[in-house]
Structure 1
């Protein structure tokens, strides 16, 4: 199946599981041409097809409840119930039972792309080693959330860059068109449900964001509450693209809530699933960390190690027998064992990216 055929098939499958926004889908395809990293982020459905074909050995590895669409920009911050700033994986739209190697390999390939296109200053092999070492240590130590208070100052430096000018965050949301009067009343009810009582002068807008989920319904509400802005986002939740790749025509089960609840994690108290919607708080301290947010002076190995460790935090939500199997496998492999597979997948991603620009 060519990339074009895969895209058409997947979007047809999607249309049976959610309302697709055609203008956003058109934008998504236009963004493909920007660079291969953006293309990679936006096409997890294609990854699921290709890695089965090109990495059969990795597909035979022990299965865990995995993130699925893991990459360098699938990390962010939020506040826990005590108000502490937490860093970690913050998007589980594609969560699904997969070999543990899927998440690690995809994270490695995303880093390789960032090395090629975004100036990540580290070698391919060192990247792979740092991620797998962090993952192995996370599993064997039982995991530990990344609380950005007394520890993890290097991650806090990355996170606080967005906290310095909160007005810019709210100004950007205020620029969006208010669609409160034309949006479905049922959607309004679900979104307002998550706001604190007493919010006034609220406005609801359609938010164009993300890449993999671009084309799905996504709305943001902001309003005034006790002297400042508060915000919430509602995003339509659909089954993982893995179900499509496995030939399942109609799927209802979504693993989002399960993977978050079982992981070693300081949860976001405002993250909740209500019907077909994922509701979460929007604020300068609750957002995705992009490559552009990384400080110029940083320790690449330390950052990638932390990402590997956080991946282990998520996988530790799987059964203990499965985790023991994963550790046993890793005990027999070098820390850079994923490198040749990452190179193979890197070539396939770039091949598809170039093909997408000819369409």
Structure 2
């Protein structure tokens, strides 16, 4: 099955779970041609399908609750219940049980492909070493969240540099198109439950964002509250694409809430699941960090080390399964991650080129 056939099959599988927005899918397909990094972000389903064959020696590594769709732009900031600024992985849409190594390989491949797009200036070998060192040390230490209020000065500077201008942020929210037609009570009831005040009047907007989830329903409730604007988002999740790759039906349990609750992290109190809907507060201070927004002067190796450590924070949430990981790592050569990342980079580029050639015709 080539990338074109895989995409069609996956979208049919997805549509059996939720009606897809065809205009958003067309946008997604177009963005996938722009860079190999964008292609990687949009095609977790393809990764799940091919990586067990490309990295056959890793397919039998210890399995645990993993991010699955991990990449260098799957990190961001939020405020915890104490109001502290936290940095870490902020998207568990595709979370599933799979070999721990997949997350590490995908993270390194994303760094390499982001480098091709001139977002990250780091070689694959350097990225592999930084990610693996951070992961190993994080696992051995039992993890520790990245609280930016007092420590991690360098990371705080990176994070605060990318924080959005509040004026521009709220203008962008206000510019979102109003929802046309009716929306199910399931959505409005869920959004109303997480608004700051019962009975608050709000406008319902449609939001187009992300890449992997592009095509699925996404709504924003925008309101005025006590002197300023507030926003809550409802994003429709579906079963992890790993289930599709395994030939399973899309009826598997969503792991998003479990990942939030069990990972070593300081949670965002405004993020939760309500049925198949992910609910969260939208704010200029709680957002994904885009690589293009980072300061030009930064230490990529240090950043990737932190990403490796944060991956350990998430994997440590599976307390029983993580116990087998140090033993597995000790039995592998020092170059296993480099080799796997190179192989998956080659495979991803092959798929991307086939995709772009088809869509250029």
1:164 and 1:238 mapped to 2: Cα distance?
Answer: 29
Structure 2: runs of 5+ lacking an equivalent: none
- How far apart are the structure 2 equivalents of 1:203 and 1:254? 28
Q: Could you tell me how far 1:204 is from its partner in structure 2?
A: 1.5
Match of 2:58 in 1: 58
Contact 2:77/2:286 (8 A) holds in 1: yes
1:29-73 deviation digits (Å, cap 9, x = unpaired): 011111110011000000011101110101111111100000000
Q: How far 1:200 moved relative to its partner?
A: 5.0
2-structure distance, mates of 1:141, 1:199: 46
The residue aligned with 1:347 is: 346
1:18-57 correspondence runs (5 A): 18-57=18-57
Structure 1 equivalent of residue 115 of structure 2 = 115
Moved more, 111-120 or 19-28: 111-120
The superposition leaves residues 259-294 of structure 1 with CA deviations (integer Å, 9 ceiling, x where unpaired) of 221110101111111122100010011110011121
Say whether 1:217 aligns with 2:217. Answer: yes
- The CA distance in 2 between the partners of 1:250 and 1:337, in whole Å, is 32
**Partner of 2:102 in structure 1?**
102
Distance 1:161-1:324 versus aligned 2 partners, 3 A rule: same
Question: Do 1:199 and 1:224's aligned partners in 2 also have CA atoms closer than 8 Å?
Answer: no
Matched, 1:333 2:332: yes
Alignment of 1:256-271 (within 5 A): 256-271=256-271
CA contact (8 A) 1:180 1:203 kept: no
Shift of 1:119: 4.2
Q: Secondary structure at the match of 1:88?
A: strand
User: Is residue 126 of structure 2 the alignment partner of residue 142 of structure 1?
Assistant: no
2:14 is aligned to 14
Describe the SS at the equivalent of 1:77.
strand
1: distance between equivalents of 2:247 and 2:162?
A: 41
Secondary structure of the structure 2 residue equivalent to 1:358: helix
Q: Report matched runs for 1:114-263 at 5 Å.
A: 114-163=114-163, 165-179=165-179, 182-197=182-197, 202-263=202-263
Displacement of 1:156 in angstroms is: 1.2
Contact 1:180 1:204 in 2 (8 A): no
Paired with 2:160 and 2:199, the residues of 1 have a C-alpha distance of 27
CA distance in 1, matches of 2:62, 2:182: 48
| CA deviation after TM superposition for structure 1 residue 252, in Å | 3.6
Q: Identify if the C-alpha distance between structure 1 residues 345 and 163 changes in structure 2 by more than 3 Å, giving closer, same or farther.
A: closer
Q: State the alpha-carbon separation in 2 of the partners of residues 199 and 347 from structure 1.
A: 54
Q: Give me the whole-angstrom Cα distance separating, in 2, the residues matched to 1:197 and 1:179.
A: 22
DSSP 3-state at the match of 1:232: strand
Separation in 2 of the partners of 1:273 and 1:324?
28
State the distance in 2 between where 1:198 and 1:20 align.
Answer: 31
TM-score, reference length from structure 2: 0.96
The 1:178–1:199 alpha-carbon spacing in structure 2 relative to 1, beyond 3 Å, is: farther
Q: Secondary structure at the match of 2:68?
A: coil
Measured after TM superposition, the shift of residue 309 of structure 1 is 0.1
Q: Which runs of 4+ in 1 moved over 6 A?
A: none
| 1:222/1:229 contact within 8 Å kept | yes
In the alignment, what sits opposite 2:84?
Answer: 84
Tell me, yes or no, if the aligned pair for 1:202 and 1:223 is still in contact at 8 Å: yes
CA shift, 1:334, in A, is 4.8
Distance in 2 (CA, whole Å) between partners of 1:94 and 1:170 is 29
Structure 2: how far apart are the matches of 1:285 and 1:334? 41
Whether the 8 Å CA contact 2:119–2:292 is kept in 1: the answer is no
Whole-Å Cα distance in 2 between the matches of residues 210 and 134 of structure 1?
27
Q: Distance in 1 between matches of 2:46 and 2:186?
A: 33
Mapped partners of 2:203, 2:48: distance in 1: 38
Conservation of the 8 A alpha-carbon contact between 2:243 and 2:252: no
SS in 1 for 2:332: coil
Judged with a 3 Å threshold, the aligned counterparts in structure 2 of structure 1 residues 70 and 43 are, in CA distance, closer, same or farther, namely: same
